[in-house]
Amino acid sequence: MTATTTAPPALSPGRRFRRFMADYPIVPLIVLLAVLMVVLEIMRPGIVNERWVANTVKFAIPLAILAACQTMTMLTGGIDLSVGTIATMAAFIVATQTPVHGPAIAVMIALVPGVLIGLANGIGAGVFRVHPLIMTLGTSLIGTGALQVYQRTVIATGSEVPDALAWLGTGVTGGFPNALLVFVPLAAVIIYTLRSTGFGRLLYAVGDNEKASRISGVHYWQVIVAVYIVSGVLAGIAGLLYVGLIKAPSLSLAEPLLLPSVAAAVIGGTSIFGGRGGYAGTIVGALILRVLTTLLTILHMPEGLRDVLFGLIILVVTAIYLRITSDT
């Protein structure tokens, strides 16, 4: 037998470029981020300085954590639209429980709704096979109702944002926002989990080809329940940091972050159809969105136009990734 090795067919520059984009979406993303910052600097000379960077990062962190929820659920082919409600609940509960039980216990209580809603989402999506989008929308509706009922029971207690959360959310030490103390380890764990652990592989496997993963012995529902619980807890943590940043808990605190969190994950190269993407891109995506928001604010763009723009970004980017990945 003569072993003939066939050289891989030479790719055209266009194909090669598209494959590169599909494999390393983070490179063009960082370029885009730099371009946006240059545009910002040209429009308002002197705006890009140490304080501005710290501020941008500070606001990008809660968004990036919520986008982690979207990244992980999207890898399995799902989405989590309840994160806005979970974050709002965590923020509101921690602010109202602190005067009663002290900050430590309040934080623990605040993370409970995230676990419960995540569990419900996981059971609905994993066991009953409801489309995650509809399931998470439903649980977020229930969560909002529950929060309103809860609000009426705590009117008398008043609210107080724990000092530690305010320090984490708003404080800046030596040019670095204190929230990085939470975010850097968290991001490292998420990236490590997705890249190098069995659980991470399971997320990709389930999202890429559910049938194949099932035949290989993966318990689909266990993976889905686990990922939605993790998503719920992360959303709760994001809510805690966000209330430390905003310092004014309300019943719709984190809802405006929902769409940007999906947009950040989509821009970051995570496929909404599952099986492709990662968290590093999402973080850059969240930064891009924050810079873009600054840009739109400077241009005096009304809130409505921002919604339109974010919606179109999700649509266009998804369509582009679909084109890039369909023929490689």
Partner 1 sequence: MTGFVKRNAWVIGLFALFAALVVLTRTIQPDYGAAGFGSLVQAVLPFAFAVAAQTVVVIAGGIDLSIASMMALTSVTAAVLMDGQTESFAILVVPMVLLLGVLLGAINGALIVISRVPDIVVTLAMLFVWQGTALLVLETPGGAAAEWLKSLLVGTVAIPGVPTAITDWIPRALVVLLVCLAVVFVPLYRSRLGLSIYAIGSNNLAAFRSGVSVGWTRIAAYAIGGLFAAMGGLVLTLSTGIGAPIPGPYLLASVAAVVLGGVALTGGTGGIVGPIVAVFILRLVRSDLTFLAVDPNVTTIVEGAIMVVVVMLGALLALRRRAT
For residues 94 and 110, the answer to whether their CB atoms sit within 8 Å is yes
141 part of the interface to partner 1, by CB under 8 A: yes
Which residue, 19 or 306, has its beta carbon nearer to partner 1? Answer: 306
Task: Please choose, out of 105-113, 218-226, 274-282, 318-326, the segment that lies near partner 1 by the rule CB under 8 A.
Answer: 318-326
| Stretch of 28-36, 55-63, 138-146, 233-241 lying at the interface with partner 1 (CB under 8 A) | 138-146
Task: Please report whether residue 164 would count as binding partner 1 according to CB under 8 A.
Answer: no
Q: Which is nearer to partner 1, 104 or 308 (CB)?
A: 308
182 binds partner 1 (CB under 8 A): no
Cβ atoms within 10 Å of 158's Cβ, excluding its own: 11
Please list every residue from 225 through 254 that binds partner 1, using CB under 8 A. none
Q: How far is the CB of 68 from partner 1 (least distance, A)?
A: 19
User: Where does residue 201 rank: exposed (0-12), middle (13-18), buried (19+ CB within 10 A)?
Assistant: middle
Contact by Cβ (8 Å): 238, 66? yes
* Segment lying near partner 1 (by CB under 8 A), choices 32-40, 41-49, 147-155, 172-180: 147-155
Report the b/e string of 98-108 with b at 16+ CB within 10 A: beeeebeebbe
What DSSP string runs through 217-267? Answer: T--HHHHHHHHHHHHHHHHHHHHHHHHHHH----TTSSGGGHHHHHHHHHH
Interface pick for partner 1 out of 54, 112, 142, 164 (rule CB under 8 A): 142
Residue 169, amino acid: G
Q: Interaction with partner 1 in 116-135: which residues (CB under 8 A)?
A: 120, 124, 128-131, 133-135
Q: How far apart are alpha carbons 74 and 6 in whole angstroms?
A: 37
DSSP state of 271: -
Binding residue for partner 1, selected from 139, 178, 261, 325, defined by CB under 8 A: 139
Site for partner 1 in 291-310 (CB under 8 A): 302-310
Contact present, 109 and 239 (Cβ < 8 Å): no
* Residue ranges binding partner 1 (CB under 8 A): 120, 124, 128-131, 133-135, 137-139, 141-142, 144-146, 148-149, 152, 259, 262, 272-273, 302-312, 314-315, 318-319, 322
